[in-house]
Amino acid sequence: MSKNIVVLSGSPRKGGNTDTLVASFIEGAKSAGKTVTLFRTADMKIGGCLGCQFCFESKGVCVQKDDMPQILDALRKADALVFASPVYYFNVSAQLKPAIDRQYALVNEKTPIKRTALLLTCADDTADTAGGAVSMYKLHAEYEKWDDAGIIIATGLEDKNDINRCSELAEAKKLGQEI
């Protein structure tokens, strides 16, 4: 069971469905005595990976001067990593994707992360719409050799508070307790 969890949330809408789903996950995790560090990537300045490999020559330090070092430092101490995002055009949001890509800086390091999970919200009525995000997540977890603790996809969320009627809130809370 994980004790130190990092959540990367890519929702640009504060107080929206993704934030509510994340809050339920965090509530569950904290009720089980876990430490959770939440990064709202939409509120951070994170540039896309340049592929320059400067980070390989400088022990994970990126050539870009932005907010990513605080995420990388937290990942170096975490034993679980959770990604959360609304589904935009069949994938995670543009606000989350740079933070995922920039984890490239840690490829040559051994982080303590053992488990991962994915929390998605979607306006569409079918989870198939989230296929691109799920595929990317599964490949990332496989590459990193992380245990997939769970994927939660809340669908049919047209309006800001639609998630409040969904069973996925209880699922997220349980996942937080169990991860």
pTM to 2 decimals?
0.96
Residue 20 confidence (pLDDT) above 90 = yes
Query: What range does the domain containing 76 cover?
Result: 4-178
Average pLDDT value over all residues in the chain:
96
- Number of folded domains in the chain? 1
pLDDT at 23: 98
Q: What is the CATH number of the domain that holds 150?
A: 3.40.50.360
HEC readout, 88-140 = ECCECCCCCHHHHHHHHHHCCCCCCCCEEEEEEECCCCCHHHHHHHHHHHHHH
pLDDT at 59: 84
